[in-house]
Amino acid sequence: MYKILLFGILLVTLFGCEKNDIHNQSNDKTFLLDKPDTIAQIEYDMICQSFDSIVLQQTTDFFVLPLSVIRQEINDLDSIAYKNFVDNNTMNYNFDSTKFVETGIKLISIAERDYLIDNPDFNYSWDEFFNKYPDSHGLFTISRVGFNSDSTNAILSSGFSNPSYGMDIINYYKLEDNKWILTGSIGIHTQ
């Protein structure tokens, strides 16, 4: 009887360890960030004042609405800031992780995002993402910033997604006393 009990405990321990080893193996997989592109410090300053302690996709992502639609919600939107916003986002850029050290913003590469979220081996679930980033509420994306001619107004789009919710937002900011203040916003649910 003692041998059967010991054998049972050994089996439970062995299978439990095997499951944890597989789980830890996926969490310990290392993903390197892509080479950062040149982005002006003023953009990083604005982003760092607006976001804190998020998991952010390293590559920019752009959400845009026509100027006339945005002005229905944000009446005082500067058209030069809007044009600069569109021009800055004609292609994707990679953020520099060293610019976010003070904020707690954690950058992840597209490869890591795809591995953790869009992986058929994990049944396309978010479980691995939340195992690796347990304090996160989901994944953020951010565009490049568009500024007006004297860099006192700024427009930025961001996205947020998790298994049950998604939203794309365009935010409008004004610089007051060296701080970026959110003065208008428009968004749409994406899932």
The answer to whether position 81 is within a domain reads yes
pLDDT at 11 over 60: no
More confident of the two residues 9 and 173: 173
The answer to whether position 123 is within a domain reads yes
Identify the pLDDT of residue 27.
53
The answer to whether position 6 is within a domain reads no
The answer to whether position 19 is within a domain reads no
The answer to whether position 8 is within a domain reads no
Please tell me the chain's helix, strand, coil percentages from 3-state DSSP, rounded to the nearest 5: 40, 25, 35
Number of domains in the chain: 1
Q: How far apart are CA 87 and CA 22, in angstroms?
A: 45
Q: How far apart are CA 88 and CA 90, in angstroms?
A: 6
Tell me the CATH number at 115.
3.10.450.630
Could you report the per-residue pLDDT of 140-187, keeping only the tens digit for each? 999 999 999 999 999 999 999 999 999 999 999 999 999 999 999 999
Q: How far apart are CA 59 and CA 95, in angstroms?
A: 6
pLDDT at 124 over 80: no
Alpha helices in 56-179 (DSSP H): 67-73, 79-88, 110-117, 127-132
CA atoms within 13 A on the CB side of 55: 18
